[in-house]
A = this chain, B = another copy of it.
Amino acid sequence: MSHFAEVALHHASRLINHGPTVLVTTAHGGRRNIMAAAWSMPVEFTPPRIAVVIDKKTYTRELAAASGAFGICIPGAGLVDLTYAVGSTSGRDEDKFARHGLQARTGPVLGVPLLEQGCAAWLECRLIPERHAEDAYDTCFAEVVAAAADARIFANGHWRYDAGNAELQTIHHLGGGNFVCGGKVVQARSMSLRA
């Protein structure tokens, strides 16, 4: 049974605020794909907008451009090997969802495939056409139109890391297949930082 619950759009930026490695999901014309991306960030709170680097040579980029949409799924620590595996083969050759036995749900607004099992959260995103940034920097801007998170680790707009949800805690790619997992959470003294 899924523990996913809707995340208010004004809280969507917090899902990737801390720089997790993500999975980018796409579908178009009966084909679908999933790839890993280490390079993403929020760019605006309201409307919730993000930027993600998707190499122009990838099948994901092709499907995102054709459909005008993609999903951002945030894998938990239990999906380290899957995250690395889907970053290593092309969806042009095979359906990576099928190869890895992944059950995708359909995004509520745009119909993009979204992975929930083993993930902490997902964001359904509408591509904002920005030809120059896409061409020059492989940077794709998008608006988040729906978001949800596993309530065991993100609820009421806040992440909660504890001993009971270690497998859902986000992973952060250091390079070369090494991922740092979430450690202890500390509360800073003093005032607000953009987030």
Contacts and interface: CB of A to CB of B under 8 A. Distances in A.
Interface in A30-51: 36-44, 49, 51
B173 A193 contact: yes
Contacts of A179: 18, 185-188
A132 B141 CA distance: 12
Given A85-B191, A174-B14, A188-B179, A39 B39 contact: no
Interface residues of A, number: 66
B180 A183 contact: yes
Number of copies of this kind of chain in the complex:
2
A148 to B, nearest CB: 17
A191 to B, nearest CB: 3
A87 B41 contact: no
A20 B171 CA distance: 12
Interface of A: 14, 17-21, 36-44, 49, 51, 53, 55, 77, 80-81, 83-85, 87-89, 130, 132-133, 137-139, 141, 157-159, 161, 169-195
Given A19-B21, A51-B139, A88-B190, 7 more contacts: A18-B180, A19-B19, A42-B53, A43-B53, A43-B137, A81-B188, A178-B186
10 contacts: A43-B138, A44-B138, A53-B194, A81-B189, A84-B191, A169-B183, A176-B195, A178-B186, A179-B185, A181-B184
